[in-house]
Amino acid sequence: MTPLALRRQALPKARPRVELLLRRRQVLFVGLNPKTLEASRMLAHPQAPTSDVIGFVDEPSRQQPGVRYLGSLESFASILRDHVVDVVHVGLPLRSHYDDIGRVIQICETHGVPVELPANPFHTGSMASLRVERGVLTMTLHTAPLCGLALRLKFLLDRLIAPILLLFAAPILLLAAIAIKLEDRGPVFFTQERVGYNKRTFRMYKLRTMAVDAEARLRQLEARNQRDGAAFKLEDDPRISRVGRILRKYSFDELPQLWNVVIGDMSLVGPRPLSLRDYNLLPEDWQRRRFSMRPGLTCYWQVRGRHHTSFVEWMKLDLAYIDQWSLYEDLKVLLATLPEVLRGGGA
């Protein structure tokens, strides 16, 4: 039998028009391993098949019973010549088959056949996104949401809502400022350098609730810290003023941070920003992933236990927020924050 006759025998007959309309792809897998086998099963699922799996190409030693093996990597070009192939799915391990993958892609380019590659070839827990910038295609691995329509909308809503909330909070801020001045004649506002988005530092604003020399006295109280981990908490902190206890009880001291939201340092919802002291005391690097989103006025921690959670639980809540983030999640957190503030949960 001539080579042409053999090729005609290998090529499938024309599909019925209905099947062509359903766009059933003819997929050839390069690489025979658990991941490609699972991918082939997904594509050819009996209930909703989207593709016909032609077979697998890999080294002869990787053949398995019940799996259609078409040949070795050396015979890949001839396999393409003799079969109808709509797409080639390459599932070879990147480290050990870098050159082989390059040759497969070059052969597919010659034949005009599209190539599919794993979106995350390193098999990490990160999400993978593709983008084109100035004509260059790049793959980004990320564990936090990347800049997209939803994130841009979040940023826009922050800029629209924060000034309105600041306007409504003006009477409270005015009364609080008068009370703070009357108590000890000190400054109304307290500013502190905090660690924000991707570890950028910024000046965070609060109503002053402690003595003017509170920062200098912190070292004397470190041994009495009642919170585990990197944070500092002391129930009967002697540095807190009488007015300050009321402001803290209803979280009024946090209202000036609406200005941080207006200027873009913070968001309405996000992990609470840590001080430089707390950041430098973080015991585990996995806890630093919380800085991959813009810090917020409120967060999961504020509405799910707050002072009753351990430091590790607090950090895990921040990461859970990042992993589950959506505009709907932000709305739920904002709505849950209001009753928490009204009942005085900040004390």
pLDDT at 18: 43
Q: CA-CA distance, 148 to 47, in Å (whole number)?
A: 34
Q: How far is CA 40 from CA 119, 133, 211, in A?
A: 16, 32, 67
Per-residue pLDDT tens, the chain, 347 aa: give them. 444 444 444 455 544 444 444 457 899 999 999 989 988 888 877 766 678 899 999 999 999 999 999 999 999 999 999 998 999 999 998 888 999 999 999 999 999 999 988 877 776 777 777 777 777 777 777 888 887 899 999 999 999 999 999 999 999 999 999 999 999 999 999 999 999 999 999 999 999 999 988 888 888 888 787 777 788 878 788 899 999 999 999 999 999 999 999 999 999 999 999 999 999 999 899 999 999 999 999 999 888 877 678 889 999 999 999 999 999 999 999 999 988 888 876 65
Cβ atoms < 10 Å from Cβ of 74: 11
- Give the residue extent of every domain in the chain: 3-118, 149-342
pLDDT at 206: 96
Q: Which two tokens stand for residue 334?
A: 């904002």
Q: Tell me which of 3.30.420.40, 3.40.710.10, 3.40.50.720, 3.30.70.141 is the CATH number of domain 3-118.
A: 3.40.50.720
Cβ atoms < 10 Å from Cβ of 219: 8
Q: How many residues in total does the chain contain?
A: 347
0.85 exceeded by pTM: no
Q: For residues 162 and 262, is the Cβ–Cβ distance under 8 A?
A: yes
Q: CA-CA distance, 67 to 53, in Å (whole number)?
A: 10
Please report, as a single letter, which amino acid is at residue 274. L
